[in-house]
Chains A and B, each alone.
Chain A
Amino acid sequence: MRLILHILLKDLRRQRLEILGYCTAVVIWAWREVHPAAFEWLRERDLLPILMFGLWILVTIRAIQGESLVGDKEWWPTRPYRWGQLLVAKVLLFVMVLNGPLLVAQLYLLMHAEIPLTWSLVPRLIILQGMFLLFATFPTAVLASVTASIVQWVMTAVGTVLTVFVFSWLPWGKLPRTLSGQGELFSWAMALVLLLSMLAALLWQYARRREWPARIVLAAGLASIPLLILFASTGLARRIAYPCAGSGSSMKLAIKPADNGVREFDWRDGNEIEIPVVDPALGGDEVIDVHGYRLHLAGSGWHWESVWQNSGHHLVFYDPAFNLVNSLPKWVYAKVKQGHVTAQVDVAWESYRFNPPVRVQAGAPDYGFAVPGIGYCRKETSAKYVGFDCVAPFTLPPVYLLTIAAEGNRCTEPDGESEVPVGHTAYALEFSSSAPAYFDPNPVRSFSLMASDWVPALPQKSGQYEYRSATVCPGGSFTVRTGQLLGRQRATFELGDIGVSKTYTPSKATEEGTEKFDTDNE
């Protein structure tokens, strides 16, 4: 430990100027985050985060390259370093001078946002710092360990970015589409491969200082990316990302009985059908996020199968339906027109379960209130707007549902309309991916108490209510339900026979006209 501190103190002395520069940038950034009106030119150009990250990189590179891992090998016989101690000294330096000031700034931002600093925040603060260490410091340090100077580091970094660009120019469009679960599988696999290759390179360099094997390991990690993309587009990756639901399927799918039909549009550039489907068994506690589907059509002596298509539909108790939209080849289109076609659909989805609802009183007009499981709100009043400014520490839950009912919100808007018309309820179903939040140095996330899914649907008068959103009235109440991910699944649903029922008159949009099909089943 004595030697670790000895090396650490040496690095602190050597890099005091850039460390001071970084700390100053962090202080200005934190101050700037809570004073949005100040230094507008800095915000417009995103200069402060660039400066902070630039100094972060500089400190990391100089600390690693200060020990001549590449080039001057004669340095090492004059230093009886234990490589493990040396590496620990560097990690300590990064944690102390890079993560430390950022942590203080984050605590300040959380306090300024009036988020209570409780012990429950500690694990998330540690995870956040760990993510910065893993995804910012670590790759920078690895690259620094196989390069001899800052110029070499920059050239290698530019070369790496160019390589990724070259990868992006490959004809990926010819591959089967990947669903978001496959994309996530690819991201995890890529992160794992790259992190392992970087770890191997770093340890190799520190333990043996053989830069070429280390560089080759890194290049191999980079070269594996196209292979992983290829893998992610395969059926195997889809099956891994979305295990077959079998009898334990959290979703049931059938043709939507209310529409009782399949609409088909004949576009100029192809033939597209739209099949309305519904999950008739969806519970009040469940949410389904449909990631993609694949349609099978079969008739007498023929069969056709679409490619997998991405989908962004969410099924929830107040709206358990969506449309399967597919372009058909002309010969299939002709067969469907003739009628008596059997439809089947493979669906891949993610399911969530809501926690019990919590009723929240939107506080007295002048003070804030907590939204359980999400964050904290306070009243915000401006010349034109009275509403709530809501913040959450670090991340939002993976899913949450806001319910704003007319009963608890009787206020009116400036135009005299009720915020929530009597007899109506406004819902907001929000999904959140936690990962991007971790890469924002500001730990304060914002969310709104706005809802725009209306039940029953608002009457449309001159389009006025068509896209109207409701918010919670000051002093009003609302219900919040957070949810957690249950898992991903994949299943095949029999939709039964579909066939032509009647013909529409041509619309303005399509000179060829539109036709309507219905299902013979159900």
Chain B
Amino acid sequence: MVSVETRALTRSFGRIQALRELDLTIEEGSVYALMGPNGAGKSTLIKLLMNLISPSSGYAQLLGMESSRLRGRRLEEIGYVSENQKLPEWMTVEQYLCYCRPFYPKWDRGLEQQLVARFELKPKQRLKRLSRGLRMKVALASVLAFRPRLLILDEPLSGLDPLVRDELLEGLNELKHETTILLSSHDLAEIDSFASHVGYLDGGRLLLSTTMEDLRHRFRRVEATIGRSVEGPATMPSEWTNFTSTATGACWVEREYDEIESVRRAAVLYPGAEITAKSLSLREVFLAIAHAERKAKGGAR
């Protein structure tokens, strides 16, 4: 079953197209990490999904309902936490959770208490006195406690110290088997072990949307070792990016790695070379995509 679906979703701010005909599908139960550089359109997409802004064209659906109709009771199953989420400063942690409780029929008091304990929140402490990390923990506790079917997190880990990030991710891990999670983040390292799916957004376009497993399989660093430095081929294969000449040969990132075809193609271009392929970290994959995109844009110009 599909939790999030967008079709030709477009949003313009004046002349600037923040999102361009975006098609995205997020299956139920997945943890979808939305990646991309600053200004890629991640927050715009999340705002569109949460009905905080309206699309210029196209549509988005969450849990089978159009996002433009997302309000009131329909939010009982959707949790949302954003980077700069404001909380009622005058309330204490306890008062805030107590205030949120009756609005959600599925609120789990036991889970709430567990989260308060896990996040080491002090119930009597006023929200205005909390650090940014603690405020994010309160916000996250208030959305996890009602066991949402869909959880949308906009840069929740940004600017937090590693310890707090770990604690928040542990909190999310508890629920990831019963909740679809969509989160946008710059933080590639944490997402690497957490997400089941990943999407890469740049310039308002979704350049990649796949499972982590597929991503790791498709993107490989290929090295051709020949004992001397070599030039790149006159016509670079379209699957190659980040080509670098080394002292002993060359290396590049293969974007559609195939154990037979990729090795055969490299052997043809560099006869006698020893061809090896290594897995990439998420960070390396996205740097490769970003470089390729920049290069393509430069070429287009």
Contacts and interface: CB of A to CB of B under 8 A. Distances in A.
Contacts of A83: 71-72
Interface string A70-89: 00111111111111000000
Interface in A209-242: none
Contact of B80 (A66, A77, A82): A77
Contacts of B6: none
Given A14-B90, A68-B86, A80-B72, A74 B80 contact: yes
Interface in A148-176: none
A77 B86 contact: no
A2 interface: yes
Contact of B73 (A68, A74, A77, A82): A82
B85 interface: yes
B104 interface: yes
B142 A6 contact: no
Contacts of A78: 75, 80-81, 85, 100, 139, 142-143
A1 to B, nearest CB: 12
Contacts of B99: 6, 10
Name the prevailing secondary structure of the A interface residues: helix
Contacts of A75: 86
Contacts of B70: 77
Interface string B249-260: 000000000000
Contact of B103 (A66, A68, A79): A79
Nearest to B86: A72
A3 interface: yes
Contact of A2 (B52, B80, B102, B139): B102
Contacts of A14: 88, 90
Contacts of B50: 74, 77
Contact of A3 (B78, B82, B102): B102
Contact of B52 (A13, A73, A80, A82): A73
A80 B85 contact: no
Contacts of B52: 73-74, 76-77
B72 A82 contact: yes
Interface in B52-103: 52, 70-76, 78, 80-82, 84-86, 88, 90, 95, 99-100, 102-103
B103 A3 contact: yes
A76 B76 CA distance: 12
A72 B50 CA distance: 13
Contacts of B102: 2-3, 6
A70 to B, nearest CB: 13
Contact of A77 (B75, B88, B90): B75
A32 B52 CA distance: 50
Contacts, number: 55
B184 to A, nearest CB: 14
Given A3-B103, A14-B90, A79-B103, A74 B82 contact: yes
Q: With a 10 A CB-CB cut-off, give which of A10, A73, A77, A82 has the most chain B CB atoms.
A: A77
Given A3-B102, A74-B80, A75-B86, A81 B143 contact: no
A190 to B, nearest CB: 33
Interface in B90-134: 90, 95, 99-100, 102-104
B72 A77 contact: no
B103 A80 contact: yes
Contacts of A77: 50-52, 70, 75, 78, 80
Q: With a 10 A CB-CB cut-off, give which of A2, A80, A81, A83 has the most chain B CB atoms.
A: A80
A10 B98 CA distance: 10
Contacts of B88: 14, 66
Contacts of A68: 86
B134 to A, nearest CB: 17
A68 B99 CA distance: 16
A509 to B, nearest CB: 72
A203 B80 CA distance: 25
Nearest to B72: A82
A74 B75 contact: no
B85 to A, nearest CB: 6
B127 to A, nearest CB: 12
B85 A81 contact: no
Contacts of A80: 72-76, 103-104
Contacts of B143: 78
A232 to B, nearest CB: 40
A6 B103 CA distance: 9
A204 to B, nearest CB: 13
Nearest to B52: A73
A502 B150 CA distance: 99
A521 B142 CA distance: 91
Given A3-B102, A6-B99, A10-B99, A76 B82 contact: no
A3 B102 CA distance: 7
Nearest to A74: B82
A10 B72 CA distance: 18
Contacts of B90: 14
Contacts of A66: 88
Nearest to B77: A80
> Would you list the 8 A-B pairs with minimal beta carbon distance, nearest first?
A80-B75, A77-B80, A73-B52, A80-B76, A77-B50, A80-B103, A82-B72, A74-B82
Interface of B: 50-52, 70-76, 78, 80-82, 84-86, 88, 90, 95, 99-100, 102-104, 139, 142-143
Interface of A: 2-3, 6, 10, 13-14, 66, 68, 72-83
17 contacts: A2-B102, A14-B88, A72-B86, A74-B52, A74-B80, A74-B84, A74-B86, A77-B51, A77-B52, A78-B75, A78-B81, A78-B139, A79-B75, A80-B76, A80-B104, A81-B72, A83-B71
Given A2-B102, A74-B86, A76-B52, 15 more contacts: A10-B99, A13-B95, A66-B88, A74-B80, A74-B85, A77-B50, A77-B78, A78-B75, A78-B80, A78-B81, A78-B85, A80-B72, A80-B75, A82-B73, A83-B71
